[in-house]
A and B are shown apart, each in its own frame.
Chain A
Amino acid sequence: DVKVTQSSRYLVKRTGEKVFLECVQDMDHENMFWYRQDPGLGLRLIYFSYDVKMKEKGDIPEGYSVSREKKERFSLILESASTNQTSMYLCASSSYRGEKLFFGSGTQLSVL
């Protein structure tokens, strides 16, 4: 079974802190994605990557950056966390474009 692992289930940070959310997949998938999920807004795409060292902006990239130095790892970075970035963050991967996504269990981030 494909496993997508997010490093933290719950995270509490202070406004202005730099935050790293890590995601690792174990199935040699080409594509990796970061979404955030908020009540009433659904899942919104932040960034995605179709290859190592490549990244594409999603619908809401402002305030975020990403890093993909290795195929299996995709990191989401909040350079200076703000309270409006309090959310559930979901990482996902797929073997090729158009294939179904496999999701991690999510990280609930609270920025105080």
Chain B
Amino acid sequence: EDKVVQSPLSLVVHEGDTVTLNCSYEVTNFRSLLWYKQEKKAPTFLFMLTSSGIEKKSGRLSSILDKKELFSILNITATQTGDSAVYLCAVEALDSGYALNFGKGTSLLVTP
């Protein structure tokens, strides 16, 4: 059973749109949730969230964690074609020996 579930699995939007990507999790002894962006090969780090309700922000991207409801969202405003990528959510918890457990990812395509 998947411990980290991302939705939607894929998404197509037009440039300028705002998107919200979802990540829910069910793990034991949660420690942190991380978001990565994967364009070609290596995923690159976006955010790490450990505390509920505190928004992390970087330019047009932002993310927030809800530890009570066990989910996180990643928002991208004013999307650009360069935002096209697979966005990965990962959770660090006791279940996996504190190694990161990844969701299947959301594939985002931003069209001109």
A residues at B contact (CB < 8 Å): 4, 33, 35, 40-45, 48, 56, 58-59, 88, 90, 97-98, 100-106
| In the complex, residue of chain B having the shortest beta-carbon distance to the beta carbon of A104 | B42
Interface size class of B (residues with CB under 8 A): 20 to 34
B residues at A contact (CB < 8 Å): 31-32, 34, 41-45, 48, 88, 90, 92, 96-105
The reply to whether A56 and B42 contact each other, CB–CB distance below 8 Å, is no
Complex Cα distance, B102 from A106, in Å, reads 16
A contacts with B: majority SS:
strand
The reply to whether A101 and B45 contact each other, CB–CB distance below 8 Å, is yes
Of B34, B41, B97, the contact of A106 (CB 8 Å cutoff)? B41
Q: Known A42-B88, A43-B88, A105-B42; judge A59-B104 contact (CB<8 A).
A: no
Complex Cα distance, B96 from A63, in Å, reads 19
